[in-house]
Structure 1
Amino acid sequence: MSSSPAASSPSSAPAPSTALTRVRREPRRRLVALAVAVAVGLALASVHWLGLVAAGAAASLVAPTARRGVAYALGVGVLALVAFAVSLGPAAGVLPGMRPVIYVAVAAALGLPLLGSLARWVI
Structure 2
Amino acid sequence: MSDSPSLRERVRTEPRPHAVALLVALGVGIGLATVHWVGLVAAGALASLAAPTVRRGVAYALGAGVVALAVFAASLGPAAAAVPGMRPVAYVAVGAGLGLPLLGSLARAAVP
Q: In which range does the TM-score fall when normalised by the shorter chain? A: over 0.9
**Is it true that 1:42 corresponds to 2:5 in the alignment?**
no
Partner amino acid, structure 2, of 1:80: A
**Is it true that 1:63 corresponds to 2:58 in the alignment?**
no
Give the alignment's Cα RMSD to 1 decimal.
1.2
Q: Given the two structures, how large is their TM-score scaled by the length of structure 1?
A: 0.86
Between stretches 52-61 and 17-26, larger displacement belongs to 17-26
1:85 corresponds in structure 2 to: 73
2:89 corresponds in structure 1 to: 101
Give per-residue Cα distances to partners, 1:50-72, cap 9 Å, x unaligned: 00000000000001111111111
1:7 corresponds in structure 2 to: none
Question: Structure 1 unaligned runs (5+)?
Answer: 1-12
Question: How much has 1:14 moved relative to structure 2?
Answer: 6.6
Question: How much has 1:18 moved relative to structure 2?
Answer: 1.8
Aligned partner of 2:61 among 73, 91, 96 = 73
Where does structure 1 differ by over 3 angstroms across 4 or more consecutive aligned residues? 13-16
Give 3-state SS (helix, strand or coil) of 1:17's partner. coil
Question: Structure 2 unaligned runs (5+)?
Answer: none
Structure number with larger C-alpha Rg: 1
- The count of residues paired between Structure 1 and Structure 2 equals 111
CA distance in 2, matches of 1:27, 1:17: 14
Q: Given the two structures, how large is their TM-score scaled by the length of structure 2?
A: 0.95
CA distance in 1, matches of 2:107, 2:3: 23
1:118 corresponds in structure 2 to: 106
**Is it true that 1:29 corresponds to 2:22 in the alignment?**
no
Partner amino acid, structure 2, of 1:103: Y
CA distance in 1, matches of 2:103, 2:30: 15
Question: How much has 1:15 moved relative to structure 2?
Answer: 6.0
Question: How much has 1:16 moved relative to structure 2?
Answer: 4.8
Question: How much has 1:120 moved relative to structure 2?
Answer: 0.2
Give per-residue Cα distances to partners, 1:21-74, cap 9 Å, x unaligned: 111010111001100100010000000000000000000000111111111100
Aligned partner of 1:51 among 39, 60, 70 = 39
